[in-house]
Amino acid sequence: MEIELKNIEKAFGEKVVFRKLSYRFPEGETTCIMGPSGCGKTTLLRLLLGLELPDSGEILGMAGRKKSAVFQEDRLCENVSAVSNLRMVSPHLSHKDGEALFARLGLEDSLHQPVREFSGGMKRRVAILRALSAEYDVLLADEPFRGLDEATKRLTMEYFKKQTAGKTVLLVTHEEQEAEFFGEEILMLDVKC
């Protein structure tokens, strides 16, 4: 089932974010959402997740679907290990399997320390792996690769693309290179859509 936006309007006080925004996200593909800062990319993800409500219009195809997300902030449980963070969304995952996942993204040496001791790039990879480990029908990712060095970013993007093949993914990015890598479809937002 496709996700469809029908005449979405959203404003915060005098600031109009969306005016009659309509769009269909193809099922089983990655759609990159791009546009200048302040055009509503994060607001759109919040609307799709149900964290914000549109002032008018309809969002079809999201009700009853399992959602996973990578937010701009990592939103990790900082006092526990990386594997424990994964097991919060995927309790069936064994500790050994969790360790194997982290090894794929170069985190195998840090698995027994609390996440609060991780660098920003390490936390980002934990947040991405946690979202990918959850059971989901739709994955929403808000600039998931921001803050990663080039080599780590490439490795993480390749893993992310492989793990999400055939899934519906809505990915916010400012980077044209990321959009080209993932973008079967690109939604370009403008200020006051």
Same domain, 12 and 46: yes
Same domain, 85 and 4: no
Residue-level pLDDT at 1: 78
Same domain, 143 and 60: yes
Tally of CB atoms within 10 A around 21: 21
pTM: 0.92
Domain that holds residue 81: 76-135
User: How many angstroms separate the CA atoms of 105 and 119, rounded?
Assistant: 14
Same domain, 191 and 142: yes
* DSSP strand pairing (138-142 vs 15-25): unpaired
- Give 115-139 pLDDT, tens digit per residue: 999 999 999 999 999 999 999 999 9
Residue 71 lies in a domain: no
Residue-level pLDDT at 191: 62
Residue-level pLDDT at 193: 45
Residue ranges of the chain with per-residue pLDDT less than 70: 191-193
Residue-level pLDDT at 192: 53
